[in-house]
């Protein structure tokens, strides 16, 4: 058996909508005729940064970096859908992603680069951040239909582990960081 320090887990940073919002987003996805396999409501999230196979020491480093991120809560209106053709993925996204979302993703990436530059994911070519929530995989045809606008109040981010349990894909929350700055009220 590998030593506990050598075990690598598949980790990623993400925004996780609260339970009822995940149900609403899953319902929106069901309104789009596209075939394929639904992502269950419990797994709906928006990835901020994918760490991939991560050792415990690297995880602690990533957690320390994440803890240093300062951000302000913001609202995101999920109103658009689209497809990653090659991956066969249907996604939902905001019409225009708020600047606060890009600022948050940038702040997280900068903190990871500063504190844990040797994380494998950071040594790979940098892909642009494309905010999306994957709602269906293995699409069979072009999606048709429309979705309602779903308002998402984002007030923190988390570190998740992707794991298989009893044949099911589970995303387990390992740690959460509520945003530290007071929201701007409109
Ligand atoms: P997705 O959001 O497009 O579905 C857990 O696997 C999460 O990490 C999923 O949300 C998935 O993307 C994302 N992910 C998986 N593999 C990835 C990779 N190699 N690069 C970036 N993100 C990845």
What string of H, E and C letters represents the secondary structure of 92-112? EEECCCCHHHHHHHHHHHHHH
How high is the pLDDT of residue 141? 86
User: What CATH number is given to the structural domain containing 38?
Assistant: 3.90.1140.10
SS3 66: helix
Domain that holds residue 158: 7-178
How high is the pLDDT of residue 35? 85
Contact 162 CB / ligand 1 (< 6 Å)? yes
Contact 179 CB / ligand 1 (< 6 Å)? no
**Residue whose CB lies within 8 A of the most ligand 1 atoms, among 11, 47, 163, for a mutation test:** 47
Give the total number of structural domains in the chain.
1
Phi then psi for 31, rounded to 5 degrees?
-80, -5
Express each pLDDT in 146-179 by its tens digit.
999 999 999 999 999 999 999 999 999 999 999 9
Does 170 map to a domain?
Answer: yes
How high is the pLDDT of residue 108? 96
Alpha-carbon distance of 103 to 166, in angstroms, equals 38
């Amino acid at each position: 058996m590998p030593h506990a320090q050598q075990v690598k887990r598949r980790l990623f940073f993400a925004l996780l909508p609260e339970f009822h919002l995940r149900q609403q987003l899953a319902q929106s996805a069901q309104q789009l005729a596209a075939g394929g396999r639904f992502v269950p409501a419990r797994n709906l999230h928006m990835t901020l940064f994918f760490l991939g196979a991560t050792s415990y020491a690297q995880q602690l480093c990533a957690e320390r970096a994440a803890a240093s991120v300062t951000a302000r809560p913001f609202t995101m209106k999920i109103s658009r859908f689209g497809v990653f053709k090659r991956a066969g993925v249907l996604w939902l996204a905001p019409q225009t992603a708020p600047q606060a979302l890009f600022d948050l993703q940038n702040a997280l990436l900068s903190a990871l680069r500063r504190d844990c530059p040797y994380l494998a994911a950071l040594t790979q070519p940098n892909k642009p951040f494309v905010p999306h929530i994957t709602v269906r995989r293995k699409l069979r045809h072009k999606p048709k239909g429309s979705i309602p606008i779903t308002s998402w109040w984002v007030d923190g981010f988390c570190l998740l582990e992707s794991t298989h349990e009893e044949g099911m894909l589970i995303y387990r929350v390992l740690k959460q960081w509520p945003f530290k700055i007071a929201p701007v009220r409109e």
